[in-house]
């Protein structure tokens, strides 16, 4: 088993952070992991993405041209990575900032209002990335959700209110991703 995911967005949207969280959750379960960051010419405000490869044996190459899943937080990322997702894969779109979707029928498309979820819980959009991570965990059950929750708990342990908010955001994203996966799977069996 080898699974690849690309998290992409503007610098400052936390795509590197959630990539690390996913990688840590996989490592905590004894999986092999590669995490590779990539930045545009500017850090904050420029394009940024990371690729996470999760496997049950050593990862041969961390370079991924066509990811199984892409989590896109802004329109330029959708334009760049949406067409690259492997057939049968998954595309998770931050519908708070992206007002279009894809016409691809060969992949699971999950639209998640990441910024809106964060705003509802915290009053800011700063934790939109956590909603995207939750959606990934629900839609692509590679790393069990409890392991990802444990990583988030560890990272925010010293900030109880931030931890509580991020756990609520993670859960909401997870529910959206899981519902989309269940609907997709039911449709394929019909």
pLDDT in tens, the chain (190 residues): 889 999 999 988 999 999 999 999 999 999 999 999 987 665 555 679 999 999 998 887 778 889 999 999 999 999 999 999 999 999 999 999 999 999 999 999 999 999 999 999 999 999 999 999 999 999 998 999 999 999 999 999 999 999 999 999 999 999 999 999 999 998 875 4
pLDDT number for residue 189: 56
Fold for the domain defined by 2-189: Pyruvate-ferredoxin Oxidoreductase; domain 3 (3.40.920)
DSSP secondary structure code for residue 23 in this structure: H
Length of the chain: 190
DSSP secondary structure code for residue 125 in this structure: S
Coil/strand/helix, residue 28: helix
**Residue 90 has which token pair?**
């998954």
pLDDT number for residue 75: 95
pLDDT number for residue 176: 98
Q: Which residues contact 122 (CB under 8 A, 6 or more apart)?
A: 165, 169
State how far the Cα of 166 lies from the Cα of 89, in Å rounded to an integer.
27
Element of type H or E holding 10: strand 2-10
CA angle 117, 35, 153 (to 5 degrees): 45
Signed CA dihedral, 67, 172, 143, 105: sign only:
negative
């Amino acid at each position: 088993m080898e699974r690849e995911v690309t998290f992409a967005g503007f610098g400052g949207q936390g795509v590197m952070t959630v990539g690390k969280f996913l990688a840590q959750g996989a490592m905590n379960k004894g999986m092999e992991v590669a995490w590779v960051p990539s930045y545009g010419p500017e850090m904050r405000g420029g394009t940024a993405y990371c690729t996470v490869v999760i496997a049950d044996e050593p990862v041969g190459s961390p370079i991924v041209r066509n990811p199984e899943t892409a989590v896109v937080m802004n329109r330029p990322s959708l334009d760049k990575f949406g067409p690259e997702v492997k057939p049968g894969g998954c595309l998770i779109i931050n519908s708070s900032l992206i007002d279009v979707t894809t016409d691809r029928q060969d992949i699971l498309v999950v639209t998640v209002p990441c910024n809106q979820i964060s705003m509802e819980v915290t009053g800011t959009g700063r934790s939109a990335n956590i909603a995207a991570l939750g959606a990934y965990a629900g839609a692509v059950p590679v790393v069990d959700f409890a392991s990802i929750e444990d990583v988030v708990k560890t990272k925010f342990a010293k900030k109880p209110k931030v931890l509580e908010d991020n756990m609520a955001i993670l859960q909401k994203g997870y529910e959206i991703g899981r519902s989309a996966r269940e609907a997709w799977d039911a449709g394929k069996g019909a």
